[in-house]
Structure 1
Amino acid sequence: MGRVVSAFVKHEKNWTLIGKRNPQWSQGFQPIHDKIIIHPGDILAATCRFDSTNKNDPTELESRETDEMCNFFMMYYTDGESSLENPPICEEAANNIIMDEYPNEGISLLPSRSDLEWEHTSHSSNNPFGVEQRMKQEWIDDEYLVIFHRGSRDFDETSIDPIPEFTILVTYQEENQLHLKARYGNSLFYMPHGFAIDQDNFYYTTDVTSLQVTKWEISNEKAGPAWHIQDFVLGKNM
């Protein structure tokens, strides 16, 4: 039912968009082009627009196939003297501000993207998936195609070990044939999810099972983590 998920920060009287996406699209990193500084007392707010037009039965807020879940994850950092280990939750006054002032831009529908919407699938342990979202891909200088994939893994409640295959493949085309330049990531990932490459050719990956975001540095044909959060720990690492 989710149609739009967005997040804003309110500083003084101004609302600034952090990000906006259609939950029906394949999930991925969305870069922020202008630096956003969050000050003490600012409000961070996110919302999801749902469409229940064709629904006649109640829908639970859970992660199963018949449930609904609409998330917006933000990556941020603080200076050495700050601590957001236990950030304050909005109280009634702030909640009222969000309800009254949340920008319409955050709930307006995005243009249709058929190239992204076909990848949408339920993340359910009852029905193994891995066809529509088996891989993510990015280009390096329009020359190398980098693929982040799930190998032969179909996910269900028994998928508890890391994927043995190399999950990051760097390829190039020559004489209409795809060739392998490098490969990384064997026995490192459990459920490969998001993938991106920045302007400095650092790789960014997310792994749903280990709750991990990792920045990878490629050097001498080897990939090593420039930084990553602690495996299997949710919350204060982000």
Structure 2
Amino acid sequence: VGFRVGGNTNINYVILQVHYGDVTVFRDNHKDCSGVTLQMTFLQQPLIAGIYLLLTEDTVIPPGEKVVNADIGCLYKQATIHPFAFRTHTHQLGQVVSGYRVRDGKWVLIGRQSPQLPQAFYHTDTSVDIKYGDIIAARCVFTGKGRTTVTRIGATSKDEMCNLYVMYYMEAKHAKPYMYCMQDGSPELFKHIPPEANIPIPVSPDMAMHGHHTGKENPDENVILQQPKREEEVVLDQVLHLEEATEWPGEKLKLGQVSGVALDSKNNLVIFHRGNHVWDEKY
């Protein structure tokens, strides 16, 4: 199984990213061994992989509401796909995300996970195929407890998201590497969803994703340049004699949404940024 890139696929480049929920472990010079390995081949694979994304755009979570369901459902009208992994994604209010195939009224689980666990792709528990005429359905369960204002779908940490990524493979001759569903699920359909879809998955504190923003109303409070230095930062400045280069980077270098900095083996400063590929509500 492989992902098609280049050529006539409209995938002209690949971006590899590593996201950190909590970087406190690196403060004691702990070695970072994370990474991504990419293998390429010119040989056409017999099976082509793809992503089916289910998401909502108009979910509203009232403040203090104990349970809010966001339902998504679409009729599948393509060649048969075989899901083999899934990934859930919400922000702080997400309790559990579940995905199903519905055929002849029978619901079969594709994947179910807490979005507060590390947001990786997890293997599907069962072997399931999705054929022309099936329905692909998903439910995100949210809670508004602890919030004093309405929460809507959006790109910032104080907003929410309801995403289910289903990774699948299909025969190369029918290859369709990306499909999506944004249609609200009908109440008639979802009154038959298995009860497990509304049962939160327990998450131990050491497994939960850390480093979420607090979601305060004033976004400037999350800007690191406006925060007072922590004690360890002050000590570090004194040891290394750090001085701010106020005129850097100058007019010629334009940075876009910097996500990280590092030094390479030759002590060159490496800046990871999105350039003009701005992350906003459209992407």
Q: TM-score, normalised to structure 2's length?
A: 0.41
With CA pairs under 8 Å and 6+ residues apart, which has the higher RCO, 1 or 2?
2
Larger radius of gyration: 2
Q: Which has the higher helix share?
A: 2
Q: TM-score, normalised to structure 1's length?
A: 0.48
Q: Which has the higher strand share?
A: 1
